[in-house]
Amino acid sequence: MNTERTYAQFLDEQDDLLGFRDEFHLPYGTIYFDGNSLGLLSKQAADSLEKLLDSWKRHAIDGWTEDVEPWFYLSEKLGKMTAPLVGARMEEVIVTGSTTTNLHQLVSSFYKPHGKKTKILADALNFPSDIYALKSQLKLKGYDPNEHLIQVQSSDGNTLNTADIIKAMTDDVALIMLPGVLYRSGQILDMKTLTREAHKRGIVIGFDLCHSIGSIPHHLSDWGVDFAFWCNYKHLNGGPGCVAGLYVNKKHFGNEPGLAGWFSSSKETQFDMSHTLTAAEDAGAYQIGTPHVLSAAPLLGSLKVFQEAGIDRVRNKSLQLTKYMMELIEVELKDYQFTIANPKDDAVRGGHIYLEHTEAARICKALKADKVIPDFRTPNGIRLAPVALYNTFEEVWETVQILKTIMQEERYKKYENKRGVIA
């Protein structure tokens, strides 16, 4: 293992995505490794937001139909731009709502308990908001979450076993909802196999792609996934609170959404003002309210960056970055009780590194004081996300050296081993 800075610089010289770094507004003087929580602003995203603000200024209400990017069709356009990133047909994707709102919509639409099929299958490692939503949906249907929400357990606290999930697909399960990538450890679930096994048993299955979209390729349509949803502010760099997205397989088109609203309508009939919904015949039917136009605008620019870079190239560099970081950690930090808790196998490793250490919270504070932006996860996790579009191999090298110095000099002891309000 070559641990010299010059080797990191050599890797950067070979990087065919290095030029995209100039497309982003980088926080001055810092190494930003938190793009799996909030991606950085690209110049194209800033430009698309400014253009949309200008269209509001110039057109006022006519911006809904007269602008170069008519607002009335913005969600559909962004859906078409997003579709290649999830391996979907253009009409199967819509940019709308928030992550949890979209989950509520999809579960309301696809969770149809009948007979003994009344349970929802999830996992014990999922992000809390997903579990909150599933419990809420069960309660709305009159079921006790303690009895009707099954959560597959982890054998090591960080990863899930495919066989364990399949074993839990019992004949009383009506719906399955799982993450595509686990938010803590970065494990990629085998979505193709899980979908096939769910359908063998007559179970509808969907995935939360918040930590996978923009980080790994997907093939939702080919896999036959029933539904999926995601945020756009992590790897897709859409901005804080950016409008989210969802996917519905075309085999479900023609069904009314569980939560109907103004923008569930067919575009052609929406302004007929009928009190009987004529739902859109594509994923647009799963919209609820009016598009959040200003919040969606940055995606016009950020998705163009992905069109130019290509998700396969992004994934290839991401794997190189995380592999290089793991190799450096194993050599340079071997004496400091760090555990690499993310999968090491390329096939199941997402876009970030997950380290465990008993002093994780205070180590994260020390890193931040030294201008490295990490992400702490309770109880003892440090997430580091070297993002392919704007991070470098030299930044990976520098981060490991800074972390080594922090441990050698025990700088972390200046801080309380307790997370902040936002970790």
Three-state DSSP class for 208? Answer: strand
Q: Which residues contact 77 (CB under 8 A, 6 or more apart)?
A: 69, 300
**Do 340 and 405 sit in the same domain of this protein?**
yes
- Please choose, from the candidates 352, 393, 398, the residue with its C-alpha nearest in 3D space to the C-alpha of residue 376: 352
Which residue type, as a one-letter code, is found at position 406?
I
| DSSP-based helix, strand, coil % in the chain, nearest 5 | 45, 15, 40
The tokens of 418 are what? 């307790």
φ and ψ of 150, to 5 deg: -95, 130
Residues 19, 118 within the same domain: no
Peptide bond into 217 cis (omega under 30): no
Task: Verify that 179 and 92 share a domain, yes or no.
Answer: yes
pLDDT at 67: 81
Quote the tokens at residue 110. Answer: 């696809």
> The tokens of 345 are what?
């196998």
Do 254 and 169 fall within a single domain? yes
Helix (H, G, I), strand (E, B) or coil at 305: helix
Structure-token pair, residue 385: 């996300």
The Cα 36–Cα 238 span in angstroms is 12
38 belongs to a structural domain:
no
* 184 in any annotated domain: yes
Q: What is the per-residue pLDDT for 116?
A: 96
Tell me, what's the pLDDT at 226?
A: 98
| pLDDT score for 418 | 81
Report the predicted TM-score, pTM, of the whole model to 2 decimal places: 0.96
- CATH number of the structural domain spanning residue 193: 3.40.640.10
Whether 131 and 278 map to the same domain: the answer is yes
Of 160, 188, 184, nearest to 318 (Cα)?
Answer: 188
- Cα 416–419–423 angle (5° rounding)? 145
Burial of 119 (0-12, 13-18, 19+ CB in 10 A): buried
Asked whether residue 150 is assigned to any structural domain, the reply reads yes
Q: How many residues does the chain have?
A: 423
- Close Cβ partners of 363 (under 8 Å, ≥ 6 residues apart): 357, 382, 403, 406, 407, 412
CATH of the domain at 334: 3.90.1150.10
In a domain, 41, yes or no: no
Contact 294, 53 (CB under 8 A): yes
Q: Are residues 238 and 320 in the same domain?
A: no
Rounded Cα gap, residues 171 and 164, in angstroms: 15
Q: Is residue 259 part of a domain?
A: yes
Residue where a domain terminates, one of 308, 327, 344: 308
User: How many beta carbons lie within 10 A of that of residue 325, not counting itself?
Assistant: 23
Binding site residue list: 99-100, 127-130, 208, 211, 233, 262, 290
pLDDT value of position 387: 98
Is residue 83 situated within a structural domain?
yes
Query: What dihedral angle (degrees, nearest 10) is formed by the CA atoms of 122, 125, 129, 132?
Result: 50
Q: Look at residues 280, 308, 336 and tell me which one is the last residue of a structural domain.
A: 308
261 shares its domain with 329: no
Q: Assess whether 278 and 327 both reside in one domain.
A: no
Mean per-residue pLDDT pooled into runs of 10, the chain (423 residues):
96 98 96 98 98 95 91 97 98 98 98 97 97 98 98 97 98 98 98 98 98 98 98 98 97 96 94 94 96 96 98 98 98 98 98 98 97 95 98 98 98 88 66
Q: How far is the C-alpha of 268 from the C-alpha of 282, rounded, in Å?
A: 13
Residues 157, 38: Cα–Cα separation, whole Å? 25
In a domain, 390, yes or no: yes
Is residue 58 located within the same domain as residue 103? Answer: yes
Residue 420 domain flag: no
Q: Which residue range(s) make up the domain with 394?
A: 5-32+310-414
Q: What is the pLDDT of residue 421?
A: 62
Query: Quick one: 327 and 283 in the same domain?
Result: no
Domain boundary among 257, 276, 308: 308
Structure tokens at 400: 């490991």
Total count of domains within the chain: 2
Question: Could you say which DSSP state residue 413 is in?
Answer: G
CA distance 211 to 40: 15
Helical spans, DSSP H, in 90-190: 99-110, 128-140, 145-148, 162-167
Residue type, 92: E
Same domain, 266 and 336: no
Specify the residue for token string 């690209």.
Answer: 42
Residues 74 and 206 in one domain: yes
- Judge whether 109 and 258 are in contact, CB under 8 Å: yes
Question: What are the binding residues for pyridoxal 5'-phosphate?
Answer: 99-100, 127-130, 208, 211, 233, 262, 290
